[in-house]
Amino acid sequence: MNGSDAVPNPVAGPVAGPVAEIRGLVKEHGQGQGRVRAVDDVDLEVPRGQTLAVMGPSGCGKSTLLHLLGGLERPTRGEVWLAGRRVDTLSERALARLRRRSVGFVFQAFHLMEELTAAENVELPVLLAGRSPREARRRASLLLERVGLAARARHLPSRLSGGQRQRVAIARALANEPPIVLADEPTGNLDTAATLDVLRIFEDLRTAGQTLVIVTHDERVAATADRLVSMRDGMFVDDTRLTGSSSRGLGGLIEWES
């Protein structure tokens, strides 16, 4: 990845203290005897610039945690703070506006709009934020160049490989310079080469000070983070700081995979 100078630093902003914080968070699904506690009384702070990996077996509540952080689901109990604002009490409208400015999502299934080109997909959040089409085009062009897809800007998602699609999704997540990017199994559908491409981008983002929360099954991905939280049955069972290891981890991984 190169050419990131033209895009403002995503951490630049008024946020003081942790970018994301959750306190006593509980999320239950279902009712009566079928009630399941997906997230069970967890607390978490994500400081600015940190890359946090959340690992755990399927169904342990990782994705739910991410959805709660991004305001896509509402907690049963507890508080969610994002970019200095408490979000669990916000209306749907206010949440949407907050997401526009403060959160970028990356999904395992990419979730690109199939009828839009790569550039048009990246332009969309900029347009939704009320910026001009010209500004949207400019930002899409810069971000696609940053993820190495400038030559494929006019391609439809169906003509891109899985790794390329995920890179478009990452560019889209960064379109409005959010203080935090939430990635849900971003490499889950990718082969090794594409996984490395995505990890390189994440590494660049980490270096640039972008806050990242990555939910993953993949230990290789987790090894690139600053901090690793393990979940089981909706609870945090381990919280490890991988201080100073991430760059080496990624470098080592790249060397190992090569």
Instruction: Give the interface with other proteins as residue ranges (CB under 8 A).
Output: 63-64, 67, 70, 72-73, 92-93, 96-97, 99-101, 103, 105, 107-109, 111-117, 120, 123-125, 127-130, 133, 136, 156, 158, 172, 176
Least distance to other proteins from the beta carbon of 119, Å? 10
Burial 10-22 (b: 16+ CB within 10 A, else e): bbebebeebbbbb
* Rounded Cα distance, 151 and 144, in Å: 9
HEC assignment per residue over 100-158: HHHEEEEECCCCCCCCCCHHHHHHHHHHHCCCCHHHHHHHHHHHHHHCCCHHHCCCCHH
Least distance to other proteins from the beta carbon of 170, Å? 13
Closer residue to other proteins, CB minimum distance, 125 or 249: 125
Count the Cβ atoms, other than its own, within 10 Å of residue 237: 11
Closer residue to other proteins, CB minimum distance, 81 or 105: 105
Closer residue to other proteins, CB minimum distance, 109 or 193: 109
Closer residue to other proteins, CB minimum distance, 153 or 228: 153
Burial of 47 (0-12, 13-18, 19+ CB in 10 A): middle
Least distance to other proteins from the beta carbon of 176, Å? 7
> Rounded to whole angstroms, what are the CA distances from 52 to 86, 113, 190, 207?
20, 28, 20, 14
Closer residue to other proteins, CB minimum distance, 111 or 217: 111
Least distance to other proteins from the beta carbon of 57, Å? 17
Query: What DSSP designation does 73 have?
Result: S
Least distance to other proteins from the beta carbon of 144, Å? 16
